[in-house]
A and B are shown apart, each in its own frame.
Chain A
Amino acid sequence: MSDAPRVVLDPTSERSPAQRPRLPRLDSLDGRTVGLLDISKPRGDLFLDRLEQRLRERGAKVERFRKPTFTKPAPLDLRQEIATRCDAVIEALAD
């Protein structure tokens, strides 16, 4: 197969956007679980430590996650774990 983008025609009434819509933003962090994903870049942990502290001050629960390597997309299991356990996620790029 060539590298040309694969394009299909929309079979719907085109009333909703072609891309999957984002989830609605959280109204409040109180009691919600926020996942912090460290992509394994240097010093990402420093940034996330500080974020965790600030989030806990605002009443959020925090779960920490870490990608095995920043060079590849997060493994499916990790993504599913985050989606299952968290209401929101913050990904630290760092460097």
Chain B
Amino acid sequence: MSPSSRPPLPSGLVAFVKRDCPTCTLVAPVLAQLAKQVQLSVYTQDDPGFPDGLDPLDDTSLEMSWHHRIEAVPTLLRSEDGREQQRAVGWQRADWEALSGVAGLGPGLPAARPGCGSRSVDPELAPKLAARFGAAKLRSRRVEIASGEDEIEALQARGWSDGLPLVPPTEERVLAMLEGTSRAPDEVLAVVPPDLVECSVEKVAINAVMAGCKPEYLPVVLAALEAACTDAFNMHGLLATTMPAGPVIVVNGPIRRRIGMNSGRNVFGQGNRANLAIGRALQLVIRNVGGGRPGEVDRATHGNPGKLSFCFAEDEEGSPWEPLAETLGARPGADVVTLFPGEGPRCIVDQLSRDPESLARSFAANLRTLHHPKLVLAFEALLAVGPEHGRVFREAGWSRRQLADRLHELLLIPGRELVRGAGGIAEGLPESVRDATLPKFRPGGIHLVHCGGGAGLFSAIIGGWVAGEMGSQTVLREIRP
């Protein structure tokens, strides 16, 4: 919050009270005692005449209480130059004496008594107060919805939607969303393609509200946007390509569990709010802030349903391996998003392999066909290994590296199978590679992630689009609170 929007405290001692609180009534004589000896201002939250004879300041609007984050009454503060130096909550003789420098306070009173809740944190009032006093810090343009206009239709009509209804981003909801991060609303965290617009935390929060996020999801959305808007991830190219890929968000770290993400059954499907809303929020920022809309800069031939939202968590607990983010260089145990430029997932069925070599061969045979069996080196893949397949590698003691290396070997393809015309198919590589042996993927081009439900001998391939510096690279970002 900018200092100017918060009304300064008067200098000296400042007390916040309400008549409705028995502890406040109890300490009224103490306040009278203090007022005789030191400079004291008393703000009263309910009855402007309370406490009698102390010339209290009217805070029935709760503006001072809200801005100075009073949580209980009585609260006694010491202020210098408008800034709080010290605070005592409830009646505590020792604290009040230390804070005021006045000894012998409240003879005859108990040494301590807890206070009551401040009216400014009353659950019924707090959201309204947040909107009234906190909205000034929101810089976005206000858009009025005409009377008689349906608000859901109004949002659609303005072109803000990905096709599904949006949650109206009211001041109250956006302020509540911003509580999910410690970052300032006006912090610019990315330049969003394709329009290359500076995007503030506030704009992300607005789109996160519309996407259906809860405030605790916001840090993940912020990190995902930062990752998406790097040169390496190349969101502009990913948006503009005629290929069907879009940003795929994989989440690692304790935050997965804290915000209730799904890494298990139906991991890529419907039904989990965190997974769906986080992915949707990223796409809405790209649409609304970046101006990236289908048919305009987005030239996808088919697209894929994951361009509405494609976000999931890795099942770290059940994984035979260290987390995906860690293998890509993240700090162990950190909350991290990994952005992969991917299309929709495709299932690999293998219900018979019980040894890792056989299963690796199944994976390789399926990976060979990615985009085209005769096209190599251009693409990466995210290979989502299901728990029942993961178990085969765990029991055999195969590390992540071992599997990746084996897949690389199994996907070394003779040039004669890849050249144009081979197999009676015009698509393929130039004749010059006929005598070479080429890998389907460059080293490190297959990313293994462990997820899915506990039943089903399946894995899944999420194909990329143009990989590496010519296209999009997989990008990590640590999630900041």
Contacts and interface: CB of A to CB of B under 8 A. Distances in A.
Interface of A: 3, 5-15, 18, 20
B140 A14 contact: yes
Interface string B113-141: 00000000000000000000000001011
Contacts of B289: 11-13
Which of B138, B143, B203 counts the most chain A CB atoms within 10 A?
Answer: B143
Contacts of B207: 11
Contacts, number: 69
A6 B140 contact: no
Interface string B147-177: 1000100010110100000001111001000
B103 interface: no
Interface of B: 138, 140-145, 147, 151, 155, 157-158, 160, 168-171, 174, 195, 197, 202-203, 206-207, 210, 284, 288-291
A7 B284 contact: no
B138 A8 contact: no
B195 A9 contact: no
A19 to B, nearest CB: 9
Contacts of A13: 195, 197, 203, 288-291
Contact of B160 (A3, A11, A15): A11
A18 B288 CA distance: 13
B455 to A, nearest CB: 41
B5 to A, nearest CB: 17
16 contacts: A5-B144, A5-B147, A6-B144, A6-B170, A7-B142, A8-B169, A9-B140, A9-B169, A9-B171, A9-B206, A10-B142, A11-B160, A11-B206, A11-B207, A15-B197, A15-B291
Given A18-B141, A18-B143, A20-B158, A11 B195 contact: no
List the 9 closest pairs (A to B, CB-CB), nearest first. A10-B141, A13-B197, A9-B140, A11-B206, A6-B145, A11-B288, A12-B288, A18-B143, A9-B169
A9 B138 contact: yes
Contacts of B169: 8-9, 11
A7 B141 contact: no
Contact of A9 (B158, B174, B197): B174
A3 B170 CA distance: 16
A20 B284 CA distance: 20
A10 B144 contact: no
B157 A20 contact: yes
B291 A8 contact: no
A10 B147 contact: no
A11 B147 contact: no
Given A12-B160, A12-B289, A13-B289, A7 B203 contact: no
